Amino acid sequence: MYYIFSYTKTVCLQVRMKNISLKTLSDLPQTATSILDFAKGKKIFCFYGDLGAGKTTLIKELCRQLGVTDEGSSPTFSLINEYRTATPALKGAKSQNSPSGVGGVLFHFDLYRLKNESEIYDIGYEDYIFSGNYCFIEWPEKIEKLLPKDFVSVRIEVKNSVRTITLE
Ligand SMILES: Nc1ncnc2c1ncn2[C@@H]1O[C@H](COP(=O)(O)OP(=O)(O)OP(=O)(O)O)[C@@H](O)[C@H]1O
Ligand SMILES: [Mg+2]
């Protein structure tokens, strides 16, 4: 009995959690800032939440705060969108695919339409996810087994038009 208790305590201490309540779209900038602070430099973010929960909206604000200046492009039939920053990507993102070497790249995965895991292998997802650049992943459940171990989980729940975001 003692061992079970002490094990549970240890596990609880290791998991960092934070809840944020979002009532209107005007809360979005502060929420995105808090998420980036919570991440402490981690660059892979998984977004969980029902259809229409607000995953894409939040990701757009995170991209804005990280300095994204373009509309994005997708070499992968919309499963992965690529965004660029004009200056070296903020918060330490590695510069990549930039002829001048000054810009940065962020990746936004929207896996809702992913049919199976082999489809994600076909588009070479490892080149994106292990690139060292920021990756924001919607519908990560579709590739749960392929995700790196260390990522920030962002769970959005909507109740009576109030959004609660749980970070882990
Ligand atoms: N924090 C918010 N406050 C109010 N409305 C919001 C908020 N976030 C998103 N919305 C609205 O909810 C709708 C759906 O948002 P969004 O497309 O971001 O959801 P999603 O989780 O990405 O959906 P999907 O699963 O279909 O990709 C949009 O009309 C958006 O304006
Ligand atoms: Mg979306």
Q: What is the mean pLDDT of each successive set of 10 residues along the chain, which is 168 residues long?
A: 47 77 96 97 97 97 93 80 77 42 83 93 92 96 94 97 97
What spacing in Å lies between the alpha carbon of 58 and ligand 2's midpoint? Answer: 9
Residue 46 domain-assigned (yes or no): yes
Residue 30 domain-assigned (yes or no): yes
Decide if 21 contacts 166 (C-beta within 8 A): no
Residue 15 domain-assigned (yes or no): no
Task: State residue 74's pLDDT score.
Answer: 78
Residue 5 domain-assigned (yes or no): no
Task: State residue 102's pLDDT score.
Answer: 55
Instruction: List the one residue out of 113, 120, 168, 124 whose CA is nearest residue 144.
Output: 120
Residue 120 domain-assigned (yes or no): yes
Residue 4 domain-assigned (yes or no): no
What spacing in Å lies between the alpha carbon of 120 and ligand 1's midpoint? Answer: 25
Task: State residue 15's pLDDT score.
Answer: 77
Least distant ligand from the CA of 47: 1
Q: Is the CB of 56 under 6 A from ligand 1?
A: yes
Q: Whose CA is nearest to atom 16 of ligand 1?
A: 54
CATH of the domain at 110: 3.40.50.300
CA atoms lying within 13 Å on the CB side of residue 51: 2
Q: Whose CA is nearest to atom 7 of ligand 1?
A: 54
Residue 84 domain-assigned (yes or no): yes
| Beta strands at 162-167 and 18-22: parallel, antiparallel or unpaired | antiparallel
Task: State residue 88's pLDDT score.
Answer: 59
Task: State residue 71's pLDDT score.
Answer: 83
pTM above 0.75, yes or no: yes
Domains contained in the chain, number: 1
State the residue range of the domain holding 38: 24-167
Q: Which residues, by Cβ under 5 Å, contact ligand 2, an ion?
A: 55-56
Least distant ligand from the CA of 54: 1
